[in-house]
Amino acid sequence: MSNKLSDSWQVSCRGFDAESLKKSILNNLEYRLGKGMKRATEYDKYLSVAYSVIERMLEKWILTQDKHGEVKPKRVYYLSMEFLMGRTLGNGLINLGLYDQCQQALQEMGLDLEELREIEVDAALGNGGLGRLAACFLDSLATLGLPAFGYGIRYDYGLFHQKIIDGRQVEIPDRWLTLTNPWEIARPEYQYPVRFGGYIEHQIERNGTRKSVWHDSEEVYAIAYDTPTPGYDTNSVNTLRLWSAKSSEDFNLQDFNSGDYFAAVNKKVTSENITKVLYPDDSSKSGRELRLRQEYFLVSATMQDIVFRFKREHGTQWKLFSSKAAIQLNDTHPALAIPELMRILVDDEDLKWERAWNICTDTFGYTNHTLLPEALETWSVDIMESLLPRHMEIIYLINHNFMKEVMRYYPGQIDRMRRMSIINEEGLKSVRMAHLAVAGSHKVNGVAALHSQLMTDTIFSDFAAMSPGKFTNMTNGVTPRRWLRKANLGLSSLITDAIGNEWVKDLTKLRDLENVVNDAQFRQQWREVKHNCKLPLIDLIQHDTGIILSPFTMFDVQVKRMHEYKRQLLFALFIIAEYLRLKEDPNAIVTPRTCIIAGKAAPAYHMAKLIILLINRIADTINNDIDTRDFLRLAFVPNYRVSAAEKIIPAANLSEQISTAGKEASGTGNMKFALNGAITMGTLDGANVEILGEVGKDNIFIFGHTAPELMTMRREGYDPQTYIEESEILQRVLHLIDCDFFSPGEPGLFRPILDSIRHHDEYFVMADFMKYLKAQDDAGTAYRDVEKWTTMSILNVARSGVFSSDRTINEYATEIWDVKPVLISSENECNKNCPWSCG
């Protein structure tokens, strides 16, 4: 497989050949780490390779930033509280076209690239879908040559590590920065004061204009840490700028001298706590003040930095602002950016309110990622007023003007105004962050066609009625670099041998696989690749859980955050039904299945944690049952994260995407599985609907009630008992749990789960059970038809092209951001005979 990339972009006085790499690695070990190979730790060796890669990134980064400084293009600013980047070394080597050369260099030094890649810790600065989407978007923005910055928080502690002890989740802090992070560069020259608290004084200037002055606020500094985000097969390298909190005052000497040591450091410590840890909830608002401080910390540092860069390039030509900056809000978490920009433009830059507001609405775009009521952020007016007094004033004024507009459209419709108001007057007065984001943006998008439709039919129906043109859909995507080219080297080379390597930059090229779908040799190699992907995963699972699995089984996989709407419970109940079937009829025609589940539960989400325990207890029971264990095994893989996903997804045959219809906004794991040749077992929810549209009904297993059907059932009253009474197998499955078969000696351990599905069953597990059982039976039968399954697998990959995040970003770029690529040519200042060309 020639992954020789176009050499037009080999702009470097750091060679891209194995020899140069070897030199760099040894140089870095010696001159940067002060170690010889003999005493070097494994981490030292990893670091020296990492530094050799980033050196070759930095040159392009400088080229790119200098070019942007020269061209002063319109930039995209992607604001997110989460960036789930995972590991960087492998991705850096792939995007810079250095992978094979590095492997060779290390081999010649007696080292193994695969082993060194395993040493890197994941940058787990995110919870799940939203954070990983942001990471995929950065890869596509750079690969498409679009000038962009990602702005986030440099948490000292990322998402907790999950240990499973006696079947239960235990959270361990993620001390990811204990060892050196070679991929970031501290930028203390970019630091901004962020203020909290205090009070506002309104002054009337001599010229009669009103001036708001923010007094007596406490201050903390935001320090920038930059991570280069290299594109694939291009010179363009964008920036991920993460802010870290630093106390404005070092050491309060008075307190110290007065012997109050604690007070002396307390202020410093508390203020720096802001960026201490990522909130581990991925679908229910914490409502904690520290979370609000984190959100404002991000947006204030970011907006000051964006305005600083604008003024550096365009002075105070504010009319240019929205044509030079497109700011995307990754959900409502950074929505305070709207009142913050208003504060800067009105209070600091003396713009008139209207002018400032028009700049805001022309600049901001808002993406909604969930319809779950508990995930829609609201902050009490009290907490907002005490922490951000000026912003609360500005939000009131924004709402005042917005209500006037609603009144103009719908005179006298008080109810509608109350529904649309940014301020919820009912009960404890609170700020509806989603309403603020919609009012302050020129475009609002959902993340899959069904979700965007449901969004305008439900939570934003009033807004969509008033400003239909504001609402649109941007179906999610995933980067094919990490999720196929890097995660599945075997399948990548098979594909490239068959259709060339253009697919890595243009995923629609995968369609060409349809020309070889009937080629017997190709099909045999296809099956071998999938089989071989299972082997390292089997080793990992045996290492982490002690469970031994067989590659000669169907790998049936569900990996995502634990949540009742994602219905890991439905998968578990199916496994019990399958177990009962095997117990009762040992000669039953079954497809030997390996069920793999993985996912973290938010620490305070007790039902999700109980479901993890149930899954582990089911596994203990069935994996040790000699009657069944050769036909059915279950493993819960601990500590699911990006680097684990890269091992699990390529090994999967069946991809479980079984959420309650209408609840999963899009899903992106579903796309990664299809891209790696797994067949989707799914409901008509989120992007599953579009995967069906692309792969065709013969190449997917769809089951379950649709979103409209469930809406009707909810409205007309849904009684799960009716479904239980209709299904003998369901009764027996529930009975097995009820009689503590999976919790011997802990009677009633899983009662809460049974009560929740027998009485309320909010997520319609009972209503969809029998339909699911049937679909699973069909999948088992299809898997036994090896040729049929091979065709389905190849066609899923061939028809996954649209689920590239490159397609998604191109849609954002044309429909929302109006930004154009900037070509970073290879005319570099560095000429070969520069004294430093130390190869």
665 binds ligand 26W (CB under 6 A): yes
Least Å distance between CB 392 and ligand 26W?
20
133 binds ligand 26W (CB under 6 A): yes
Annotated active-site residue 647? The verdict is no
280 binds ligand 26W (CB under 6 A): no
Least Å distance between CB 331 and ligand 26W?
5
For residues 686 to 705, the per-residue mask of contacts with ligand 26W, x marking binding by CB under 6 A and - elsewhere, is: x-------------------
The angle subtended at Cα 477 by Cα 476 and Cα 480, nearest 5°, is 175
Amino acid at the residue 315: G
Interactions with ligand 26W, residue window 318-337 (CB under 6 A): 331
Q: Considering beta carbons, is residue 133 or 360 the nearer one to ligand 26W?
A: 133
564 binds ligand 26W (CB under 6 A): no
Least Å distance between CB 165 and ligand 26W?
26
645 binds ligand 26W (CB under 6 A): no
Least Å distance between CB 613 and ligand 26W?
23
> Residues 486, 581, 672, 799: which is the catalytic one?
672
CA gap 688, 677 in Å, rounded: 15
Nearest to 553 by CA among 592, 527, 596, 597: 592
CA gap 687, 705 in Å, rounded: 16
Q: Considering beta carbons, is residue 331 or 646 the nearer one to ligand 26W?
A: 331
Annotated active-site residue 663? The verdict is no
- Contact present, 662 and 710 (Cβ < 8 Å): yes
Helix (H) or strand (E) segment spanning residue 811:
helix 805-812
684 binds ligand 26W (CB under 6 A): no
- Contact present, 599 and 564 (Cβ < 8 Å): no
> Which of 15, 86, 129, 198 touches ligand 26W (CB under 6 A)?
129
Q: Considering beta carbons, is residue 582 or 681 the nearer one to ligand 26W?
A: 681
Interactions with ligand 26W, residue window 210-229 (CB under 6 A): none
3-state secondary structure of 716: helix
> Residues 60, 68, 561, 617: which is the catalytic one?
561
Amino acid at the residue 233: D
Interactions with ligand 26W, residue window 362-381 (CB under 6 A): 369-370, 375, 377
CA distances from residue 571 to 194, 558, 596, 664, 773 in whole angstroms, order as listed: 47, 8, 10, 16, 10
CA gap 699, 719 in Å, rounded: 33
Annotated active-site residue 672? The verdict is yes
Least Å distance between CB 768 and ligand 26W?
18
Least Å distance between CB 129 and ligand 26W?
3
Q: Considering beta carbons, is residue 231 or 667 the nearer one to ligand 26W?
A: 667
> Residues 367, 456, 668, 683: which is the catalytic one?
668
> Residues 534, 560, 641, 799: which is the catalytic one?
560
Least Å distance between CB 280 and ligand 26W?
9
Instruction: Give residue for tokens 């696989």.
Output: 513
Least Å distance between CB 457 and ligand 26W?
17
3-state secondary structure of 506: coil
Annotated active-site residue 759? The verdict is no
Q: Considering beta carbons, is residue 503 or 673 the nearer one to ligand 26W?
A: 673
Query: Can you name the residues that pair with 169 across neighbouring β-strands?
Result: 164
Helix (H) or strand (E) segment spanning residue 380:
strand 378-380
- Contact present, 589 and 638 (Cβ < 8 Å): no
Q: Is 747 left (phi over 0), alpha (psi -120 to 50) or beta?
A: beta
- Tokens for 566? 């994602």
Helices marked H in 201-288: 253-257, 261-272
For residues 428 to 467, the per-residue mask of contacts with ligand 26W, x marking binding by CB under 6 A and - elsewhere, is: -------------------x--------------------
DSSP symbols for 559-625? ES---GGGTHHHHHHHHHHHHHHHHH-TT-----EEEEEE----TT-HHHHHHHHHHHHHHHHHHT-
Interactions with ligand 26W, residue window 467-526 (CB under 6 A): 476
3-state secondary structure of 767: helix
Contacts (Cβ under 8 Å, ≥6 apart) of 715 = none
> Which of 120, 281, 340, 768 touches ligand 26W (CB under 6 A)?
281
Query: What does residue 340 show for φ and ψ, rounded to 5 degrees?
Result: -70, -40
Least Å distance between CB 474 and ligand 26W?
9
CA gap 582, 630 in Å, rounded: 10
> Residues 45, 56, 333, 369: which is the catalytic one?
369
Binding segment toward ligand 26W, per CB under 6 A, in 280-288, 298-306, 396-404, 519-527? 280-288
Annotated active-site residue 60? The verdict is no
First and final CA of the chain: distance in angstroms?
A: 26
- Contact present, 537 and 575 (Cβ < 8 Å): no
Pairing of strands 218-230, 237-247: antiparallel
Q: Interface residues with ligand 26W (CB under 6 A)?
A: 127-130, 133, 281-283, 285, 331, 369-370, 375, 377, 447, 476, 664-668, 686
Q: Which residues are catalytic?
A: 369, 560-561, 566, 668, 672
